[in-house]
Homo-oligomer: A and B are copies of this chain.
Protein backbone atom coordinates (compact mmCIF):
# COMPACT_ATOMS: atom_id res chain seq x y z
CA UNK A 1 0.00 0.00 0.00
CA UNK A 2 0.94 3.60 -0.61
CA UNK A 3 1.88 4.95 2.82
CA UNK A 4 -0.60 7.41 4.31
CA UNK A 5 0.71 10.97 3.82
CA UNK A 6 1.44 12.99 6.95
CA UNK A 7 1.50 16.44 5.39
CA UNK A 8 -0.97 17.22 2.62
CA UNK A 9 -0.82 20.31 0.44
CA UNK A 10 -3.83 21.69 -1.41
CA UNK A 11 -5.00 24.65 -3.46
CA UNK A 12 -6.22 26.86 -0.60
CA UNK A 13 -7.31 28.69 1.34
CA UNK A 14 -9.84 26.72 3.38
CA UNK A 15 -13.22 26.93 1.72
CA UNK A 16 -11.99 26.19 -1.82
CA UNK A 17 -13.51 23.25 -3.66
CA UNK A 18 -10.06 21.68 -3.37
CA UNK A 19 -10.27 21.82 0.42
CA UNK A 20 -13.60 20.00 0.08
CA UNK A 21 -11.87 17.33 -2.02
CA UNK A 22 -9.40 16.87 0.80
CA UNK A 23 -12.31 16.52 3.27
CA UNK A 24 -13.66 13.73 1.10
CA UNK A 25 -10.34 11.89 0.85
CA UNK A 26 -10.34 9.13 3.52
CA UNK A 27 -6.57 8.91 3.84
CA UNK A 28 -6.36 12.65 4.63
CA UNK A 29 -7.76 12.05 8.07
CA UNK A 30 -5.30 13.07 10.71
CA UNK A 31 -2.85 14.59 8.24
CA UNK A 32 -1.58 18.13 8.50
CA UNK A 33 -3.25 20.33 5.83
CA UNK A 34 -1.06 22.91 4.12
CA UNK A 35 -2.81 25.45 1.84
CA UNK A 36 -1.07 26.96 -1.19
CA UNK A 37 -2.07 30.00 -3.21
CA UNK A 38 -1.69 28.37 -6.63
CA UNK A 39 -1.52 24.97 -8.29
CA UNK A 40 2.10 25.67 -9.15
CA UNK A 41 3.01 26.35 -5.55
CA UNK A 42 1.11 23.29 -4.32
CA UNK A 43 2.86 21.05 -6.85
CA UNK A 44 6.29 22.60 -6.25
CA UNK A 45 5.92 21.85 -2.56
CA UNK A 46 5.56 18.13 -3.29
CA UNK A 47 8.61 18.16 -5.51
CA UNK A 48 10.57 19.99 -2.80
CA UNK A 49 9.48 17.48 -0.18
CA UNK A 50 7.71 20.14 1.90
CA UNK A 51 4.53 18.06 1.77
CA UNK A 52 4.06 14.33 1.16
CA UNK A 53 1.31 14.83 -1.41
CA UNK A 54 -0.93 17.58 -2.67
CA UNK A 55 -4.52 17.84 -3.88
CA UNK A 56 -5.16 19.84 -7.07
CA UNK A 57 -8.08 20.18 -9.50
CA UNK A 58 -7.55 18.56 -12.92
CA UNK A 59 -10.86 18.61 -14.77
CA UNK A 60 -14.26 20.24 -14.48
CA UNK A 61 -17.37 18.94 -16.20
CA UNK A 62 -18.21 22.44 -17.47
CA UNK A 63 -14.89 24.21 -17.84
CA UNK A 64 -12.75 21.28 -18.94
CA UNK A 65 -9.13 20.55 -18.12
CA UNK A 66 -7.26 22.66 -15.59
CA UNK A 67 -4.26 23.85 -17.60
CA UNK A 68 -2.15 24.80 -14.60
CA UNK A 69 -2.39 21.26 -13.23
CA UNK A 70 -1.93 19.51 -16.58
CA UNK A 71 1.19 21.57 -17.25
CA UNK A 72 2.60 21.25 -13.75
CA UNK A 73 2.38 17.44 -14.02
CA UNK A 74 3.62 17.24 -17.61
CA UNK A 75 6.74 19.31 -16.96
CA UNK A 76 9.42 19.33 -14.27
CA UNK A 77 10.51 16.45 -12.03
CA UNK A 78 8.31 13.37 -12.31
CA UNK A 79 5.29 13.04 -10.05
CA UNK A 80 2.59 10.41 -9.72
CA UNK A 81 -1.15 10.70 -9.29
CA UNK A 82 -2.10 8.31 -6.49
CA UNK A 83 -5.82 8.96 -6.23
CA UNK A 84 -8.75 10.98 -7.47
CA UNK A 85 -11.80 12.62 -5.88
CA UNK A 86 -14.99 13.91 -7.50
CA UNK A 87 -16.63 16.92 -5.86
CA UNK A 88 -20.06 18.21 -6.91
CA UNK A 89 -19.77 21.90 -7.64
CA UNK A 90 -22.48 24.22 -6.40
CA UNK A 91 -22.15 27.98 -6.16
CA UNK A 92 -23.70 30.62 -3.91
CA UNK A 93 -23.63 34.39 -4.09
CA UNK A 94 -22.38 35.45 -0.64
CA UNK A 95 -22.06 38.90 0.91
CA UNK A 96 -21.73 40.68 4.23
CA UNK A 97 -24.79 40.53 6.39
CA UNK A 98 -27.46 42.97 5.29
CA UNK A 99 -26.46 43.09 1.61
CA UNK A 100 -29.46 42.75 -0.72
CA UNK A 101 -29.15 41.47 -4.25
CA UNK A 102 -29.97 44.93 -5.55
CA UNK A 103 -26.99 46.36 -3.64
CA UNK A 104 -24.43 44.26 -5.47
CA UNK A 105 -22.33 46.37 -7.86
CA UNK A 106 -19.27 44.13 -8.28
CA UNK A 107 -18.73 40.38 -7.84
CA UNK A 108 -15.43 38.74 -6.97
CA UNK A 109 -14.58 35.14 -7.82
CA UNK A 110 -12.16 32.86 -9.68
CA UNK A 111 -12.44 33.01 -13.47
CA UNK A 112 -13.46 29.31 -13.72
CA UNK A 113 -16.33 29.94 -11.29
CA UNK A 114 -17.35 33.09 -13.14
CA UNK A 115 -17.54 31.07 -16.34
CA UNK A 116 -20.04 28.76 -14.66
CA UNK A 117 -22.43 31.45 -13.38
CA UNK A 118 -22.41 33.87 -16.32
CA UNK A 119 -25.93 32.93 -17.32
CA UNK A 120 -27.33 33.56 -13.84
CA UNK A 121 -25.45 36.84 -13.59
CA UNK A 122 -26.69 38.09 -16.95
CA UNK A 123 -30.27 37.35 -15.87
CA UNK A 124 -30.11 38.57 -12.26
CA UNK A 125 -27.26 41.07 -11.98
CA UNK A 126 -26.81 42.37 -15.51
CA UNK A 127 -25.08 45.57 -14.36
CA UNK A 128 -22.56 43.97 -11.97
CA UNK A 129 -18.82 44.16 -12.67
CA UNK A 130 -16.70 41.03 -12.50
CA UNK A 131 -13.53 41.18 -10.38
CA UNK A 132 -11.20 38.19 -10.77
CA UNK A 133 -9.69 36.68 -7.63
CA UNK A 134 -7.16 33.92 -7.00
CA UNK A 135 -9.79 31.45 -5.87
CA UNK A 136 -13.46 31.38 -4.95
CA UNK A 137 -12.54 31.05 -1.30
CA UNK A 138 -10.17 34.02 -1.55
CA UNK A 139 -13.09 36.17 -2.67
CA UNK A 140 -15.13 35.05 0.33
CA UNK A 141 -12.15 35.56 2.60
CA UNK A 142 -11.67 39.14 1.41
CA UNK A 143 -15.28 40.01 2.16
CA UNK A 144 -15.15 38.24 5.52
CA UNK A 145 -11.99 40.05 6.56
CA UNK A 146 -13.68 43.40 5.92
CA UNK A 147 -16.62 42.21 7.88
CA UNK A 148 -14.39 41.53 10.84
CA UNK A 149 -12.53 44.81 10.60
CA UNK A 150 -9.25 43.09 9.66
CA UNK A 151 -9.11 44.81 6.29
CA UNK A 152 -8.77 48.41 7.40
CA UNK A 153 -5.37 48.94 5.82
CA UNK A 154 -6.38 48.02 2.32
CA UNK A 155 -9.56 50.08 2.34
CA UNK A 156 -12.91 49.10 0.95
CA UNK A 157 -12.72 45.87 -1.13
CA UNK A 158 -13.41 46.37 -4.82
CA UNK A 159 -16.40 43.98 -4.83
CA UNK A 160 -19.37 43.54 -2.50
CA UNK A 161 -20.34 39.90 -3.17
CA UNK A 162 -18.47 36.67 -3.81
CA UNK A 163 -19.29 33.58 -5.87
CA UNK A 164 -18.07 30.65 -3.82
CA UNK A 165 -18.88 27.26 -2.32
CA UNK A 166 -21.52 27.23 0.41
CA UNK A 167 -18.82 26.08 2.85
CA UNK A 168 -16.69 29.13 2.11
CA UNK A 169 -19.61 31.45 2.91
CA UNK A 170 -20.14 29.72 6.23
CA UNK A 171 -16.42 29.74 7.03
CA UNK A 172 -16.14 33.47 6.49
CA UNK A 173 -19.49 34.29 8.18
CA UNK A 174 -21.07 35.65 5.04
CA UNK A 175 -24.74 35.62 4.23
CA UNK A 176 -26.01 33.68 1.24
CA UNK A 177 -27.78 36.15 -1.05
CA UNK A 178 -28.65 33.47 -3.65
CA UNK A 179 -27.80 29.79 -3.91
CA UNK A 180 -27.67 27.21 -6.69
CA UNK A 181 -26.56 29.92 -9.12
CA UNK A 182 -24.47 27.63 -11.38
CA UNK A 183 -25.73 27.59 -14.97
CA UNK A 184 -25.43 23.81 -15.12
CA UNK A 185 -26.83 21.58 -12.44
CA UNK A 186 -24.80 18.48 -11.77
CA UNK A 187 -21.43 20.11 -12.40
CA UNK A 188 -18.54 18.15 -10.95
CA UNK A 189 -14.84 18.85 -10.48
CA UNK A 190 -12.28 16.09 -10.44
CA UNK A 191 -9.27 16.43 -8.17
CA UNK A 192 -6.10 14.35 -8.04
CA UNK A 193 -3.73 13.63 -5.22
CA UNK A 194 -0.16 14.01 -6.44
CA UNK A 195 2.95 12.55 -4.81
CA UNK A 196 6.60 11.93 -5.56
CA UNK A 197 7.36 8.64 -7.38
CA UNK A 198 7.04 5.58 -5.15
CA UNK A 199 5.07 2.37 -4.85
CA UNK A 200 1.91 2.50 -6.98
CA UNK A 201 -1.54 1.93 -5.52
CA UNK A 202 -2.40 -1.75 -6.01
CA UNK A 203 -4.80 -2.66 -8.85
CA UNK A 204 -8.42 -2.80 -7.67
CA UNK A 205 -10.16 -3.75 -10.93
CA UNK A 206 -11.60 -0.23 -11.08
CA UNK A 207 -8.50 1.78 -11.94
CA UNK A 208 -7.45 4.60 -14.17
CA UNK A 209 -4.06 5.37 -15.67
CA UNK A 210 -2.81 8.79 -16.75
CA UNK A 211 -0.03 9.41 -19.28
CA UNK A 212 1.30 12.30 -21.34
CA UNK A 213 2.25 11.44 -24.91
CA UNK A 214 4.73 13.46 -27.00
CA UNK A 215 4.77 12.66 -30.70
CA UNK A 216 7.90 12.42 -32.79
CA UNK A 217 8.29 15.67 -34.69
CA UNK A 218 8.23 14.54 -38.29
CA UNK A 219 4.97 12.69 -38.14
CA UNK A 220 1.72 13.49 -39.92
CA UNK A 221 -1.41 11.67 -38.78
CA UNK A 222 0.40 10.88 -35.56
CA UNK A 223 -2.57 11.06 -33.19
CA UNK A 224 -4.38 8.35 -35.16
CA UNK A 225 -1.31 6.14 -34.78
CA UNK A 226 -1.22 6.71 -31.03
CA UNK A 227 -4.89 5.82 -30.62
CA UNK A 228 -4.38 2.64 -32.64
CA UNK A 229 -1.96 1.43 -29.97
CA UNK A 230 -4.88 1.49 -27.54
CA UNK A 231 -7.35 0.00 -30.03
CA UNK A 232 -5.05 -2.92 -30.90
CA UNK A 233 -5.19 -3.98 -27.22
CA UNK A 234 -8.88 -3.27 -26.61
CA UNK A 235 -8.24 -0.31 -24.29
CA UNK A 236 -10.83 2.38 -23.58
CA UNK A 237 -9.78 6.02 -23.26
CA UNK A 238 -11.77 8.25 -20.90
CA UNK A 239 -10.07 11.62 -21.42
CA UNK A 240 -7.81 13.17 -24.06
CA UNK A 241 -6.60 16.69 -23.65
CA UNK A 242 -4.16 18.38 -25.99
CA UNK A 243 -1.67 20.77 -24.41
CA UNK A 244 0.96 22.90 -26.12
CA UNK A 245 4.49 21.59 -25.75
CA UNK A 246 5.25 25.32 -25.64
CA UNK A 247 7.96 24.81 -28.26
CA UNK A 248 6.03 26.46 -31.08
CA UNK A 249 2.49 27.25 -32.25
CA UNK A 250 0.75 24.03 -33.23
CA UNK A 251 3.08 21.72 -31.31
CA UNK A 252 0.95 19.69 -28.90
CA UNK A 253 1.28 16.80 -26.49
CA UNK A 254 -1.67 14.73 -25.30
CA UNK A 255 -2.70 14.15 -21.70
CA UNK A 256 -4.68 10.94 -21.67
CA UNK A 257 -6.63 8.85 -19.14
CA UNK A 258 -7.25 5.20 -19.91
CA UNK A 259 -9.23 2.53 -18.11
CA UNK A 260 -7.17 0.04 -16.14
CA UNK A 261 -3.92 -0.24 -14.18
CA UNK A 262 -0.40 -0.18 -15.62
CA UNK A 263 0.02 -3.70 -14.21
CA UNK A 264 -2.81 -4.95 -16.41
CA UNK A 265 -1.29 -6.83 -19.32
CA UNK A 266 -3.15 -4.90 -22.02
CA UNK A 267 -2.04 -1.56 -20.61
CA UNK A 268 1.54 -2.68 -20.22
CA UNK A 269 1.70 -3.76 -23.85
CA UNK A 270 0.00 -0.60 -25.11
CA UNK A 271 2.32 1.65 -23.09
CA UNK A 272 5.35 -0.22 -24.44
CA UNK A 273 3.96 0.36 -27.94
CA UNK A 274 3.55 4.06 -27.26
CA UNK A 275 6.99 4.26 -25.69
CA UNK A 276 8.42 2.88 -28.92
CA UNK A 277 6.62 5.21 -31.32
CA UNK A 278 6.48 8.38 -29.21
CA UNK A 279 9.26 10.86 -28.62
CA UNK A 280 8.39 10.57 -24.93
CA UNK A 281 5.77 8.96 -22.73
CA UNK A 282 5.39 10.42 -19.25
CA UNK A 283 3.68 8.00 -16.90
CA UNK A 284 1.59 9.89 -14.35
CA UNK A 285 0.25 7.00 -12.33
CA UNK A 286 -2.37 4.26 -11.94
CA UNK A 287 -4.92 4.76 -9.19
CA UNK A 288 -8.40 3.65 -8.08
CA UNK A 289 -11.28 5.40 -9.82
CA UNK A 290 -13.34 7.68 -7.64
CA UNK A 291 -16.56 6.24 -9.10
CA UNK A 292 -15.48 2.63 -8.39
CA UNK A 293 -16.63 1.70 -11.91
CA UNK A 294 -14.81 -1.44 -12.99
CA UNK A 295 -12.97 -1.30 -16.32
CA UNK A 296 -14.82 -2.49 -19.40
CA UNK A 297 -12.43 -5.12 -20.68
CA UNK A 298 -12.81 -5.79 -24.39
CA UNK A 299 -13.27 -9.43 -25.44
CA UNK A 300 -9.95 -11.29 -25.42
CA UNK A 301 -8.13 -8.49 -23.62
CA UNK A 302 -8.09 -9.81 -20.05
CA UNK A 303 -4.91 -10.73 -18.21
CA UNK A 304 -5.86 -14.39 -18.63
CA UNK A 305 -6.11 -13.92 -22.40
CA UNK A 306 -2.68 -12.32 -22.46
CA UNK A 307 -1.22 -15.07 -20.30
CA UNK A 308 -2.66 -17.76 -22.57
CA UNK A 309 -1.27 -16.00 -25.63
CA UNK A 310 2.16 -15.69 -24.02
CA UNK A 311 2.20 -19.37 -23.05
CA UNK A 312 1.34 -20.26 -26.63
CA UNK A 313 4.09 -17.98 -27.95
CA UNK A 314 6.66 -19.69 -25.74
CA UNK A 315 5.52 -23.05 -27.03
CA UNK A 316 5.75 -22.17 -30.70
CA UNK A 317 9.08 -20.41 -30.24
CA UNK A 318 10.38 -23.70 -28.89
CA UNK A 319 9.10 -25.54 -31.96
CA UNK A 320 6.05 -26.94 -30.20
CA UNK A 321 2.44 -26.68 -31.30
| Interface: A244 (CB within 8 A) | yes
Known: A64-B243, A68-B115. A310 touches B186 (CB 8 A): no
| 13-65 of chain A: CB within 8 A of chain B | 37-38, 40, 59-65
Shortest beta-carbon distance from A6 to chain B in Å? 19
A250 close to B239 (CB less than 8 A): yes
Tell which of A67, A71, A188, A249 has the most Cβ of chain B within 10 Å.
A249
Q: Is the interface of A mostly helix, strand, loop or mixed?
A: mixed
Look across to chain B and name the residue whose beta carbon is closest to the beta carbon of A112: B67
Look across to chain B and name the residue whose beta carbon is closest to the beta carbon of A155: B155
Shortest beta-carbon distance from A293 to chain B in Å? 11
- Beyond known contacts A200-B319, A228-B232: 19 more, CB 8 A cutoff: A63-B244, A64-B242, A65-B242, A71-B115, A86-B249, A132-B132, A132-B133, A220-B236, A221-B227, A221-B231, A224-B224, A228-B228, A233-B273, A239-B250, A272-B313, A275-B309, A275-B313, A276-B301, A281-B312
Report which A residues bind B (CB closer than 8 A). 37-38, 40, 59-65, 67-68, 71, 78, 80, 86, 111, 115, 118, 130, 132-134, 154-156, 158, 184, 186, 188, 190, 197-200, 220-221, 223-224, 227-229, 231-233, 236-244, 246, 248-252, 262-263, 268-269, 271-273, 275-277, 281, 283, 296, 300-301, 305-306, 308-310, 312-313, 316-321
